[in-house]
A and B are shown apart, each in its own frame.
Chain A
Amino acid sequence: MAGKKDYNLFDKDTQAFIYNMQTNAVQRMLDFDYVAGRKTPSVAAIVNPTGNDGFQKFFFGPKEILVPVYKSLKNAANKHKNVDVMINFASFRSAAASTEEAFAIPQLRTVVIIAEGVPERRMRELNVKAKQLNKVIIGPATVGGIVPGAFKIGNTGGTIENIMDSKLHRPGSVGFVSKSGGLSNEAYNIVSQNTDGLYEGIAIGGDRFPGTTLLDHLLRYEKNPDIKMLVCLGEVGGSDEYTIVDALKKKMITKPLVMWVTGTCSKAFKTEVQFGHAGAKAGSESETADAKNTALKAAGAVVPNSFDDYGEKIAIVYKDLVKKKIIIPRPEPPAVKMPMDYNAAVKAKLVRKPANFISTISDDRGEELIYGNMPISEVFKKDIGVGGVLSILWFKRLLPNYATKFIEMAIMVTADHGPAVSGAHNTIVATRAGKDLISSLVSGMLTIGPRFGGAIDGAAQMFSEAYDAGKTPQQFVDDMKAKGANIQGIGHLIKSIHNPDMRVTIISSYAKKHFKSTPLLDYAREVEKITTSKRDNLILNVDGCIGICFVDLLRSELTKQEADEYIKMGALNGLFVLGRSIGLIGHYLDQKRLKQGLYRHPWDDIAYMLPEKEK
């Protein structure tokens, strides 16, 4: 890039592509950008090969910005000519291919490969290609690296608190490089405690053949005039550290270097041990940590006695540079305050807000689904049945057995009433028009109202009003007659006092037998006596019976006020809707099963009575 020196891979203006949808990593980079005082976000775009072009929303400090998403890397590069870094989050299977894709784009100079497990041979091929094309690979198997105050790769540095604690939001004078990404937070912490801070830190990754080596980065730091001292953490296994020994001897590295090679404990193991990293295995004596530390020390590196005094050695070298005025400590810049994430603030109990929604009947967040206060396993252990579940979810309490059984009976008797009633008819017609289950069900359901199915609710309301007002059955009947209104729940097309409806018999005798008291049912029976004396089919019908019994039930289990509230809210309509859904779905399935075609009502069943045609 214009203006960028070859030893500088990342600066305050560097923008990158993120390969693969890694929204957390992107947000962490943008958070860093904000505390580092960057003017532009360090992520120019996300390349998501399995998605579509579009945008993703992110925070940039307190405000929200849109980051473009491209399906094709080539497209992204054409749109963002300034981008020269790609952070490759592709999996180990596809990381090599996507890195090659990036190599084919001249503007992309640096590719960071995050994946662990890229085959070594593929990696070596890429490394050779990178050299030919003058590209830089960092990784694979790395968290990346950071240039404090300028650019952060992906998830490097951990949380924003840690970034501030380790002073990674502003530059210092130390160039650090290690294999391990896992230890980089620790290393940056050590550097920040013992010096004026980090200038650049890179983790090259734990593979045997990383894209760039420890030495590659040390030589870059050597050339960078802003970096005054070098700190490096090597590892048992391989021979990369000897290239550093060589560079020290040849004076290719002249800045003070504090270095420690980990894995000195390998001598404590009798058999060959593979530590965490692919490369961390001593194949021969020269590959041991002890041999490397000795060689480095002999070549002029500052080598501590153990990791324990790594920090002290770094401090000594730093203080010496300050004394020699090679490093002139700068005053701390004012810290930028990072807005806290809402979720983190909630977790830390720092904020609260009124919820927009409240639920008091069920909770799906925990290990187990909960109805009311009953976990689903308990629902089955106690065998509370559909009636029990309904009583919890509708009335917020588990009603006693006799009551939940009654609820189930009500559902059973209302489940269906043949194909001819309006609900079933509508469902059948809709089904035959080729509609789906929900449309067909709803089509039938929408007929439920004052004339169809609504009598349960209507009867309950009418009878309880009259009863509560202290009207005698005779007064009630007279009043209704005077108003010219039908009494809801009274009357049947076919059934009569001499030919009782079995359903009514079942429901009412259950209520009489099990309910604590049935004042409204008794009242209704008195009303029925009066109405049937006029015409014998003016009996208490099934809708009326269910509605009235339900009022008796609710009033004996809940307070009267609560019970009335439920009836007013339409709980009894709910009961009919619920029961009848069973039948309507049955009719839908029946019609589908019978492969019934589109229904067309016959002309001869319609009386066409239009105004006469003009002649």
Chain B
Amino acid sequence: MAQKAIREADGKNMIARLLKEYTNGTYTIENKFISIGPDTDLKKLSTTYKWLTKEKLVVKPDQLIKRRGKSKLLLLNTDWKDAEKWIKERMNKPVTVGTVTGILDHFIVEPFIPHNENDEYYLAILSQRDGDQILFHHQGGINVGDIDAKAVRMPIPIGTYPTASDIEKQLLGNVPKERKGLIAGFIEGMFKFYADLNYTYLEINPFVVTGNHIIPLDLAAKLDDTAEFVSGKKWGSIKFPSPFGRMLTKEEACIQDLDSKTGASLKLTVLNPEGRIWTMVAGGGASVIYADTITDLGFMSEMANYGEYSGDPNEEFTYLYAKTILDLMTRKKNPKGKFLLIGGGIANFTDVANTFKGIVRALQEYKDRLRENKVKIYVRRGGPNYKEGLRVMRELGEQLGVPIEVYGPETHMTKIVSMALKGGK
């Protein structure tokens, strides 16, 4: 959905492959960026890429991790033997960066470029409403600091392309004279690359100048994935990785799998498996608001999950979705009991009674465990045929011996949150 981050290796490969095209052949960057995943055969790699064993190398994880240097996730000026060992030691192992723990499973290997600190430059291109903006700073690198304050900016109105001489005039004031032309031409080409390939964000910090060459050392980028039908061929085979640390639990993966099998939408994020408040909300917008309200009422630590179903999933899918949540929430008893909020706004054209069928089936199946776990259920929903849907829910409560409170559009959408939480404090 819209802007999605890509791996550093994919971004650099794309530059190596295409920058020539955007600079009339004047800039070439050697394609020496190798992506290593969990299935890469490291042995084979050194025979495919002869230079690996001949040059000094850099190895980094390639998983959208910021400030890798500061987290000691960087191996510089090494040879292939040590690089291989370093990768093997870390592959498929957990690592904590800041507050987030994730599994390392992608690395980038590239040549080590010896250079001086004053060869490092900062470049970023951003998309804004009226146009794009190029940010440049003549002192790039890991110590660049507060770039928002330091960078020189050049706004580019949408639909226009800056010339090298404009770039030189507006951005390169602090660059040594002999390098101005080279860097200006590079930025001119990079901007065309950015615009034509539907990037939405690109940061190269730093790129270094050695002699007549420019080499991007560190890169972070995002593409507009809705433009796949326009630029997809040029992108090549690209996968959009999940943010670092976003490891899916078995249940989350299962729902993601269900989601991919239907035109409807099924989402589940488990925030705290021991939390007492579980939600199963229809609609993307409404589900956020339910989670908001739980947070705003001061129950963030008790919020067990974020979940959403929308786009009219069929009975089997809603059944499996509901079952997954009911199973998760009834694994460990809490003497204070638990809440399940089956919420939603007023549907446009979805038959509410129909979408409840799968949920009802799952509730029936889990009635004993729901009773044992002292689960109290609150329902709120509106839209086509909602009266029938709510009637079914009400009757179900009596039938299962599980307390179910049921409300329609006359009750404010999130009222069931405060009813449940304030009652259960």
Binding site for B on A (CB under 8 A): 92-93, 117-122, 124-125, 127-128, 143, 155, 158-159, 161-162, 165-166, 180, 182-183, 185-186, 189-190, 193, 207-209, 236, 262-265, 267-281, 289, 305-308, 310-311
**Number of contacting residues on B, CB 8 A?**
61
Closest 4 pairs (CB-CB, A-B):
A276-B284, A306-B296, A278-B2, A186-B345
Q: Does B195 contact A (CB under 8 A)?
A: yes
Select which of A155, A269, A308 is within 8 A of B412 by beta carbon: A308
Query: What residue in chain B is nearest A293 (Cβ atoms)?
Result: B296
6 A-B pairs besides A119-B226, A128-B158, A270-B100 with CB distance below 8 A are A121-B227, A124-B129, A155-B348, A269-B269, A271-B243, A281-B3
Q: In the bound complex, how far is the Cα of B225 from the Cα of A92, in angstroms?
A: 12
| Interface SS of B by simple majority | mixed
Residue pair A121, B224 in contact (C-beta under 8 Å): yes
Select which of B230, B291, B415 is within 8 A of A265 by beta carbon: B291
Task: Name which of B40-48, B137-145, B302-310, B390-398 contacts chain A.
Answer: B302-310
Binding site for A on B (CB under 8 A): 1-3, 99-100, 127, 129-131, 157-159, 195, 198, 200, 224, 226-227, 229-230, 243-246, 269, 271, 283-289, 291-297, 300, 303, 306, 308, 310, 345-349, 382-384, 409-410, 412-415, 417-418
Can you list 7 A-B contacts with CB-CB less than 8 angstroms, sorted by A residue number?
A: A124-B158, A162-B383, A180-B284, A183-B285, A276-B288, A278-B2, A307-B292
Known: A276-B308, A308-B418. Contact between A125 and B158, CB under 8 A?
A: yes
The smallest beta-carbon distance between A26 and chain B, in angstroms, is 15
Residue pair B292, A262 in contact (C-beta under 8 Å): yes
Q: In the bound complex, how far is the Cα of B56 from the Cα of A252, in angstroms?
A: 61
The smallest beta-carbon distance between A142 and chain B, in angstroms, is 12
Q: In the bound complex, how far is the Cα of B57 from the Cα of A16, in angstroms?
A: 63
Residue pair A306, B297 in contact (C-beta under 8 Å): yes
Residue pair B127, A120 in contact (C-beta under 8 Å): yes
Known: A186-B346, A263-B292. Contact between A306 and B269, CB under 8 A?
A: no
The smallest beta-carbon distance between B316 and chain A, in angstroms, is 13
Known: A186-B413, A277-B284. Contact between A307 and B129, CB under 8 A?
A: no
Contact partners of A125 in chain B: CB under 8 A: 158-159
Residue pair B292, A182 in contact (C-beta under 8 Å): no
Residue pair B127, A307 in contact (C-beta under 8 Å): no
Select which of A117, A119, A183, A268 is within 8 A of B295 by beta carbon: A268
Select which of A120, A166, A272 is within 8 A of B224 by beta carbon: A120
Contact partners of A180 in chain B: CB under 8 A: 284-285
Q: In the bound complex, how far is the Cα of B308 from the Cα of A279, in angstroms?
A: 18
Residue pair A155, B200 in contact (C-beta under 8 Å): no
Q: In the bound complex, how far is the Cα of B346 from the Cα of A189, in angstroms?
A: 8
Residue pair A269, B271 in contact (C-beta under 8 Å): yes
Q: In the bound complex, how far is the Cα of B285 from the Cα of A122, in angstroms?
A: 26
Select which of B283, B292, B296 is within 8 A of A183 by beta carbon: B283
The smallest beta-carbon distance between A143 and chain B, in angstroms, is 7
Q: In the bound complex, how far is the Cα of B298 from the Cα of A264, in angstroms?
A: 11
Known: A267-B295, A279-B2. Contact between A120 and B200, CB under 8 A?
A: yes
Residue pair B382, A189 in contact (C-beta under 8 Å): yes
Residue pair B296, A308 in contact (C-beta under 8 Å): yes
Select which of B127, B158, B289, B347 is within 8 A of A185 by beta carbon: B347
The smallest beta-carbon distance between A103 and chain B, in angstroms, is 14
Residue pair B300, A308 in contact (C-beta under 8 Å): no
The smallest beta-carbon distance between A280 and chain B, in angstroms, is 8
The smallest beta-carbon distance between A345 and chain B, in angstroms, is 14
Contact partners of A92 in chain B: CB under 8 A: 226, 229
The smallest beta-carbon distance between A152 and chain B, in angstroms, is 13
Select which of A143, A208, A276, A289 is within 8 A of B3 by beta carbon: A208
Residue pair B288, A265 in contact (C-beta under 8 Å): yes
Contact partners of A193 in chain B: CB under 8 A: 410
Query: What residue in chain A is nearest B296 (Cβ atoms)?
Result: A306
The smallest beta-carbon distance between A185 and chain B, in angstroms, is 4
Residue pair B289, A119 in contact (C-beta under 8 Å): no
Select which of B226, B289, B295, B413 is within 8 A of A120 by beta carbon: B226
Residue pair A182, B310 in contact (C-beta under 8 Å): yes
Q: In the bound complex, how far is the Cα of B232 from the Cα of A93, in angstroms?
A: 13
Known: A189-B409, A278-B2. Contact between A265 and B245, CB under 8 A?
A: no
Contact partners of B200 in chain A: CB under 8 A: 120, 208
Query: What residue in chain B is nearest A284 (Cβ atoms)?
Result: B148
Residue pair B271, A208 in contact (C-beta under 8 Å): no
Known: A128-B158, A158-B347, A308-B412. Contact between A118 and B289, CB under 8 A?
A: no
Contact partners of A268 in chain B: CB under 8 A: 271, 291, 295, 300, 303, 306
Q: In the bound complex, how far is the Cα of B269 from the Cα of A281, in angstroms?
A: 16
Q: In the bound complex, how far is the Cα of B349 from the Cα of A118, in angstroms?
A: 24
The smallest beta-carbon distance between B253 and chain A, in angstroms, is 16
Residue pair A118, B226 in contact (C-beta under 8 Å): yes
Residue pair B297, A308 in contact (C-beta under 8 Å): yes
Select which of B130, B306, B348 is within 8 A of A143 by beta carbon: B348
Residue pair B295, A270 in contact (C-beta under 8 Å): no
Residue pair B127, A124 in contact (C-beta under 8 Å): yes
The smallest beta-carbon distance between B410 and chain A, in angstroms, is 8
Contact partners of B346 in chain A: CB under 8 A: 158, 162, 166, 185-186, 189
Q: Which of B3, B269, B417, B418 has the most CB of A within 10 A?
A: B3
Contact partners of B245 in chain A: CB under 8 A: 270-271
Contact partners of A307 in chain B: CB under 8 A: 289, 292-293, 296, 413-414
Known: A186-B346, A262-B289, A308-B412. Contact between A120 and B198, CB under 8 A?
A: yes
The smallest beta-carbon distance between B154 and chain A, in angstroms, is 17
Contact partners of A122 in chain B: CB under 8 A: 227, 230
Residue pair B243, A311 in contact (C-beta under 8 Å): no
Known: A120-B198, A125-B159, A276-B308. Contact between A305 and B384, CB under 8 A?
A: no
The smallest beta-carbon distance between A350 and chain B, in angstroms, is 14
Q: In the bound complex, how far is the Cα of B412 from the Cα of A185, in angstroms?
A: 12
Contact partners of B285 in chain A: CB under 8 A: 180, 182-183, 262, 276
Contact partners of A273 in chain B: CB under 8 A: 269
Q: In the bound complex, how far is the Cα of B324 from the Cα of A499, in angstroms?
A: 78
The smallest beta-carbon distance between B1 and chain A, in angstroms, is 5
Select which of B226, B384, B412 is within 8 A of A159 by beta carbon: B384
Residue pair B198, A119 in contact (C-beta under 8 Å): yes
Q: Which of A182, A262, A273, A289 has the most CB of B within 10 A?
A: A182
Q: In the bound complex, how far is the Cα of B3 from the Cα of A173, in angstroms?
A: 38
Query: What residue in chain B is nearest A127 (Cβ atoms)?
Result: B129
The smallest beta-carbon distance between A246 and chain B, in angstroms, is 14
Residue pair A119, B383 in contact (C-beta under 8 Å): no
Query: What residue in chain B is nearest A187 (Cβ atoms)?
Result: B345
Q: In the bound complex, how far is the Cα of B14 from the Cα of A378, in angstroms?
A: 58
Residue pair A289, B292 in contact (C-beta under 8 Å): yes
The smallest beta-carbon distance between A300 and chain B, in angstroms, is 21
The smallest beta-carbon distance between B19 and chain A, in angstroms, is 19
Q: In the bound complex, how far is the Cα of B410 from the Cα of A189, in angstroms?
A: 8
The smallest beta-carbon distance between A115 and chain B, in angstroms, is 10
Known: A121-B227, A185-B383, A308-B415. Contact between A265 and B348, CB under 8 A?
A: no
Contact partners of B410 in chain A: CB under 8 A: 193
Known: A125-B159, A128-B130, A128-B158. Contact between A158 and B2, CB under 8 A?
A: no
Q: In the bound complex, how far is the Cα of B408 from the Cα of A189, in angstroms?
A: 11
Select which of A120, A276, A305 is within 8 A of B296 by beta carbon: A305
Q: In the bound complex, how far is the Cα of B412 from the Cα of A278, in angstroms?
A: 27
Contact partners of B412 in chain A: CB under 8 A: 190, 308, 310-311
Query: What residue in chain A is nearest B351 (Cβ atoms)?
Result: A347
Q: In the bound complex, how far is the Cα of B383 from the Cα of A120, in angstroms?
A: 32
The smallest beta-carbon distance between B252 and chain A, in angstroms, is 13
Residue pair A117, B226 in contact (C-beta under 8 Å): yes
The smallest beta-carbon distance between A62 and chain B, in angstroms, is 22
Contact partners of B292 in chain A: CB under 8 A: 262-265, 289, 306-307
Q: In the bound complex, how far is the Cα of B287 from the Cα of A162, in angstroms?
A: 21
Q: In the bound complex, how far is the Cα of B157 from the Cα of A209, in angstroms?
A: 14
Contact partners of B294 in chain A: CB under 8 A: 265
Q: Which of A121, A166, A277, A311 has the most CB of B within 10 A?
A: A121
Contact partners of A186 in chain B: CB under 8 A: 286, 345-346, 382, 413
